[in-house]
Amino acid sequence: MYELVHIKGNTWYIDCPAKIGVYVTADKRAYLIDSGSDKEAGKKIVRRLEEQGWSAEAVLNTHSNGDHIGGNKLLQDRLGVSCYAPEIEDTFTAYTILEPSFLYGGYPCKALRNKFLMAEAAPVRPLSEAVLPAGFSFFALPGHFFNMVGFRTPDDVVFAADCLFGEETLKKYHVTFVYDVAGYLETLDRISSMDADWFVPAHGPICRDLRPLAAVNRKKVEQITADLLEICREPSGFDRILARIFDRYRLAMDLNQHVLVGSTIRSYLSYLIDTGRMAVTFENNILCWRTL
């Protein structure tokens, strides 16, 4: 874990639960794509850079989830490195209380203010083309979170962040986090039409052709959509819907999973309402969803 793996040219990644991209310029300045889940991940990044004799130039965050920004603070403190993130994501990165608050829908209890949902806050600057090395670019990957982006290095390696997940992850968790289902499906279409020498999903194996994995992720979205339409043939309150989803996929309920899967299922319900396949009713002052 946390081994440095060469991909092509000056592009590498650090192998960890949410892969960290590394692009090294000719003068040995390293641009990091994300920073791992916590300060321990940050320490391991520092060690890998020191082993190679590279200096850290910047951290380029794809989005603000805790497992992608958790090393920011340590890298800033140890190396004085600047961190950059897209709009909206930069605010969530600087004020990390926002993520558990958003997921919970109110002030999160202490058990939800953990490093998994609430990384250590660190100053961050807006991401722009001006801060990237020559030949480097970023592009929008909507759907997973508010304003996630991917990066393409001059070696034609695409870091795809959380726009899709490996098959093993899907088999284990089934309901991966999605904020905007329609946007997520559009991103799967977009990433499927891209060409690159290598693709690096944060939570899946690197590959030369991302289309088969995109198809697997789309199939999972369609399966969850179909399940919700079946569950809501009778008007159902949210707790019943969520319990049936957990039962159907044999998921283990805890506070983290309740807010993560719960937020995602709400997004699916919104998608089904907006596409005319579901409606809401109120029964005895309980909000219920029903299939049309």
Q: Which fold has domain 231-291?
A: Arc Repressor Mutant, subunit A (1.10.10)
Query: If we measure between CA atoms, which residue out of 112, 76, 80 comes closest to residue 93?
Result: 76
Enumerate the CATH 3.60.15.10 domain ranges in the chain, comma separated. 3-221
Identify the pLDDT of residue 285. 96
Residue range 3-221 in CATH 3.50.50.60: no
Query: If we measure between CA atoms, which residue out of 22, 40, 39 comes closest to residue 31?
Result: 22
Give backbone dihedrals phi and psi of 14, rounded to 5 degrees, phi first.
Answer: -100, 120
Identify the pLDDT of residue 73. 98
Contact 127, 60 (CB under 8 A): yes
Identify the pLDDT of residue 266. 98
pTM: 0.96
pLDDT digits (tens, 9 = 90+) for 188-203: 999 999 999 999 999 9
126's tokens: 């807006």
Average pLDDT over every residue of 52-56? 98
Which pLDDT band holds residue 60 (cuts at 50, 70, 90)? very high
Contact 30, 37 (CB under 8 A): no
pLDDT digits (tens, 9 = 90+) for 244-272: 999 999 999 999 999 999 999 999 999 99
Sequence-distant (≥ 6) Cβ neighbours of residue 166 within 8 angstroms: 201, 203, 204, 205, 213
pLDDT digits (tens, 9 = 90+) for 108-161: 999 999 999 999 999 999 999 999 999 999 999 999 999 999 999 999 999 999
Average pLDDT over every residue of 9-35? 98
The length of the chain is: 292
